[in-house]
Amino acid sequence: MLDIKLLRQEPELVRENIRKKFQDAKLPLVDEVLDFDAAYRETLAKAEALRARRNGGSKEIGRLMAQGKRGEAEALKAEIARLGGELDALAEDEKRLQEEVRQRMLVIPNIIDDSVPLGRDDTENVELRRYGEPTVPPYEIPYHAEIMEKLSGLDLDAARKTSGNGFYYLTGDVARLHSAILSYARDFMIDRGFTYCIPPYMIRGNVVTGVMSFAEMDNMMYKIEGEDLYLIGTSEHSMIGRYIDTILKKESLPLCMTSFSPCFRKEAGAHGIEERGVYRIHQFEKQEMIVLCEPEQSMEWFHKLYGYTVEFFRSLEIPVRTLECCSGDLADLKVKSVDVEAWSPRQQKYFEVGSCSNLGDAQARRLGIRVKKEGGNYFAHTLNNTCVAPPRMLIAFLENHYQADGGVTIPAALQPYMGGKPNIR
């Protein structure tokens, strides 16, 4: 959510940012906010003037009573009572106008960084760099679900019976590989100075609207029927929500955390949810990175975070590339975002396995996360990034380590988490 002062002082900057994101339908919101904000401030001024009259009248009543002018005092009392009624009505107007402003401000997108490439959708994202040599072996690599099934590691049919499409059972060495990757990711981030956390897997509605846009919420979140609770789509939601209405000490920043959680997503409108595989699913696990920092440090942390994901995948001998998200592909709260994509030797192309986002002060402003400072507190900046999210990561792992005999090799970095096994067969 933007600072209302920015809309008042530079409305054209906000309009131009909306155009850069190809969301022209939202342009009228700027004028609507300005109109409601002007009415809100006018109402505040009227209320302040009435309070001044009421306070002055209260003092005058005492003076009139002391002079024995009871009739004049009673008349003044009646007027003050009337002023009280007007103030109550103005208070209701203030509340209504403030909510009108807030509801529109929640929909107006955050100001993107000047370095973000302009484009309408993900087809116009820009490749930044490749890491590792993408190779295609001289033998055929089966579809990932087939690899898992041959290793007695995947049961989609049973999952459909218990839960429907978009769910899975992992078993045996494949399930162990899944857990090993997450355990390795946990230690990988702890070794880089991040504090390990396990957050709540459900959050309240005010936290949901604090960490994401309405469009994301509708497409992603599962709501618990009859309760003000939602299943998290990523641990970032509850990790950032942890600091709602908190004033942080400047010396405590940056706060660097790595969190594990299951993630639940509706994937509304997604294509391929019923395909025979685990690429797009309703439930998965993830090791996340979250940073709260000073505003001037957020871009430095942004580059560090996605660099850690690249380093993690390369330590498992998986080629990756980084892709900068264009303006039209950025969610409304994001200032800048980079996707990390892994190489698929079967498809001979890269596919997304993680995303790093700098949200500026948008989440902090919505949730009231401030940094203490003499002369006035200010909002922290928040960032999040995927370290690893199996089972999607399993697709990249299995394809890049699949052998001609049907086995899968285990890189040295992961072998301690797999009981020393050099391969699975």
Kindly write down the DSSP assignment for every residue of 76-99, as one continuous string. HHHHHHHHHHHHHHHHHHHHHHHH
- How many Å apart are CA 40 and CA 33, to the nearest integer? 10
The 10s digit of each residue's pLDDT in 411-421 is 999 999 999 99
Catalytic positions: 265, 280, 352, 355, 392
In this prediction the pTM is: 0.90
Q: State what percent of residues in the chain have pLDDT above 90.
A: 82
Per-position DSSP letters for 106-175, written without gaps between them: TTSPPPPPTTSPP-SSGGG-EEEEEES-----SS----HHHHHHHTT-EEHHHHHHHT-TT--EE-HHHH
pLDDT value at position 274? Answer: 57
pLDDT value at position 53? Answer: 72
Looking at domain 4-105, what is its CATH homologous superfamily?
Serine-tRNA synthetase, tRNA binding domain (1.10.287.40)
The 10s digit of each residue's pLDDT in 367-388 is 999 999 988 899 999 999 999 9
> Which residue did the predictor score with more confidence, 65 or 226?
226
Burial (CB < 10 A; 0-12, 13-18, 19+), residue 390, is buried
pLDDT value at position 222? Answer: 93
Fold of 122-424: BirA Bifunctional Protein; domain 2 (3.30.930)
pLDDT value at position 356? Answer: 98
CATH 1.10.287.40 domain position(s) in the chain: 4-105
User: Of the candidates 282, 295, 293, which has an alpha carbon nearest to the alpha carbon of residue 253?
Assistant: 293
Mean pLDDT of the chain: 93
pLDDT value at position 57? Answer: 67
pLDDT value at position 226? Answer: 95
pLDDT value at position 49? Answer: 84
In this structure, the dihedral spanned by the alpha carbons of residues 156, 161, 162 and 165, taken in order and rounded to 10 degrees, is 60
Pairing type for strands 255-264 and 195-197 reads parallel
Residue 35 pLDDT > 80: yes
Q: Which two tokens stand for residue 338?
A: 């980079």
Average pLDDT over residues 390-406: 95
**Which residue has tokens 């299995």?**
398
Residue 104 pLDDT > 80: yes
pLDDT value at position 268? Answer: 64
Average pLDDT over residues 387-393: 93
pLDDT class for 275, splitting at 50, 70, 90? low
Number of C-beta neighbours around residue 124 at 10 A = 14
CATH 3.30.930.10 domain position(s) in the chain: 122-424
Residue 271 pLDDT > 70: no
Residue-wise burial string across 79-104, b where 16 or more C-beta atoms lie within 10 A, e elsewhere: ebeebeeebeebeebbeebeebbeeb
Average pLDDT over residues 156-180: 95
Residue 143 pLDDT > 80: yes
The 10s digit of each residue's pLDDT in 41-85 is 999 998 888 877 776 767 777 776 777 777 777 676 777 777 778
Q: How far apart, in Å, are the Cα atoms of 162 and each of 169, 243, 358?
A: 10, 37, 38
Average pLDDT over residues 199-223: 89
pLDDT value at position 50? Answer: 80
pLDDT value at position 277? Answer: 87
**Residue 195 identity:** T
CB 402 within 8 A of CB 408: yes
